[in-house]
Amino acid sequence: MFNDIGLPELATIIVLAMLVFGPDKLPKVIQDVTRTIRKIREFSESAKQDIRQELGPEFKDFEFEDLNPKTFLRKQLETDDLGLKEIRNGFDLKKEMAEVTDAVHGRDSDPSPSSPSSPSSGGRIDMTKKPEGPDRDERPPFDSDAT
């Protein structure tokens, strides 16, 4: 629970507790805090047991830590029932990014000139030209409810 508290943080907490509660009340406060933490842990354990009993024998191996998304994903990825490692190893990000970059810049990544998808202008699209199509001069219908 407090794995990331170091010596300086612990010393700061002790000094603050001494200043706030004083040396005579500090042992009593520490006892009260530990008792409260112990009661909370007992309550949570009994609640977990009640939930397990209500779920039945099918869920006897159910762990509440699996409800944490990070833990759930870690467990699922360790088993690799879906073949995710094969997918991950078969995906070459650099090659995919190079293909996308070539497509954006209009370069043909496939050296074969007989590619049916490449336009005759060398893969470049003229953005200054208006698209051709029927009824280009007509305006779209006006919807007064939309404004």
Alpha-carbon span 69 to 92, nearest angstrom: 27
Question: Which of these, 18, 37, 36, 38, lies nearest to 27 by C-alpha position?
Answer: 18
Asked if 118 and 106 touch (Cβ cutoff 8 Å), the reply is no
What single-letter amino acid sits at 56?
A: G
Question: Which of these, 17, 44, 48, 15, lies nearest to 33 by C-alpha position?
Answer: 17
103-146 tens-digit pLDDT: 888 876 554 444 444 444 555 666 666 666 555 567 777 777 87
Residue that the structure tokens 């006892």 belong to = 31
1-44 tens-digit pLDDT: 566 788 899 899 889 988 998 889 989 999 999 999 999 999 99
What single-letter amino acid sits at 125?
A: I
Alpha-carbon span 39 to 52, nearest angstrom: 20
Q: Where are the domains of the chain?
A: 23-62, 68-109
Question: Which of these, 111, 102, 101, 106, lies nearest to 125 by C-alpha position?
Answer: 106
pTM (predicted TM-score)? 0.41
